[in-house]
Amino acid sequence: MHNVARAQGYAVSTVRSNIIHNQFEKGFERSGTPNANKNPSKTVTSRKLDCPFRLYATKYAKSTTWTLKVKNPEHSHDSTENIMAHPAFSKFNEQETSQIAQMFESLLMPRQSQAQLFSQRESDRPLIHQDIYNQVRKVKKGKLKGRRPIDFHIDTLKEENFVLSSERDAEGDITSLFFTHPVAIKLLHGFPHVILMYCISKTNNYKIPLFHIVGFSSTNKTTYGAICLMKNETEPSYTWELNQRIEKFLNNTNLVPPPVIVIDRYLALKNSLKKLFPDSKVVFKGDDQSVEKEIKNEAKKIFEDIGEDLFQRSMAEITPIIQHFQDVLTGKVPIDQIPKSQEDYQYFEHPLECKNICGRPPGAKNKNEKKNKREPSRFEII
């Protein structure tokens, strides 16, 4: 039946069946009426075109053959020449289903799985990319074994010997989760001087904040520290997490508070860190302020006690040095044109020798410049 329909450019599917009496009502893939769009704000499509074709297949108990009866031979659509238009011809068999599950366990991407399956399939069986994603989704759902994704995640962390702590509400839902690995704790013991803290909220299905703690090695490489799932990014939430999770984590692992903590422009996190780690220096990362403005802000705190006039005279003397310093870092002044005898060379001698720290990351302020040029932020100069 399927081979005959395929030769005519159609695909047969089961509309309804009665297994007890061995009766099947067959129709084409485009039979039936489209479902009503319950959300008018979204544009939805359907393959159903209300095709009237019907075919009944019956096998009686005392017979070894099937009886076919065509109820309506008409179609409401034309036949197709490309079999890729019929998903019924691209279904996976048991061997391919098992192979996709093994590829998923090996962390292969769906496009890599598609290339391997395509080389093993017959030429008359199409392979649709979306079918692989759908099968991977079924594999993920099977691994949950009825558990919620967050509970499956916690069980996996326990199996991998992660150090974790969680908080649940009255209904049993997890409101906070903190976890790290023993190897990460050793790395933080070896490099406790600078810690980077940042929060992202669009990398999971629930859109909840994901708080990261990252360390820096002596080779200027980042090392994983810990991860914490939070309720929200408000100051009370940060304060509670820092007190209940971070402080206990530092005490239980004998870690000293980091001298320097680098964060994004999260004022709520900054205020919470000042309460918990008053002796640590909190530095903003990747801000858009120029070097001159940052230095002026720091210098003003020093000179505010000795008078505004002295502060203005001091800034008038240091402004040319700051400008020269910016020109060198942004490439406006070639390095070979800087005389060694110049008085202000001492201010940018070290950054020139450490280009990996003072490099020019992607993202230009001026659209006319190349993308690898922009004013360095304060954190990039340190």
Give pLDDT tens digits for 280-322. 888 776 544 444 555 566 566 666 655 666 667 666 766 666 6
Taking the C-alpha atoms of residue 166 and residue 163, their distance in angstroms, rounded to an integer, is 11
Task: Assign 292 to helix, strand or coil.
Answer: helix
Taking the C-alpha atoms of residue 374 and residue 329, their distance in angstroms, rounded to an integer, is 9
pLDDT value at position 128? 74
pLDDT value at position 133? 85
162-284: what fold?
A: Nucleotidyltransferase; domain 5 (3.30.420)
Taking the C-alpha atoms of residue 256 and residue 168, their distance in angstroms, rounded to an integer, is 29
Which is nearest to 111 in space by CA: 82, 97, 131?
Answer: 131
Residue 38 identity (one-letter amino acid): K
Residues 339/250, Cβ–Cβ less than 8 Å = no
Residues 241/232, Cβ–Cβ less than 8 Å = no
Residue 143 CA, distance from chain mean position: 21
pLDDT value at position 356? 38
pLDDT value at position 300? 64
**Segments of the chain scoring below 70 in pLDDT:** 1-11, 13, 15-16, 19-47, 49, 61, 77, 80-89, 118-119, 121-126, 202-203, 285-311, 313-315, 317-382
Q: What is the pTM of this model?
A: 0.53
Other Cβ atoms less than 10 A from the Cβ of 237: the count is 19
Structure tokens at 205: 């299905």
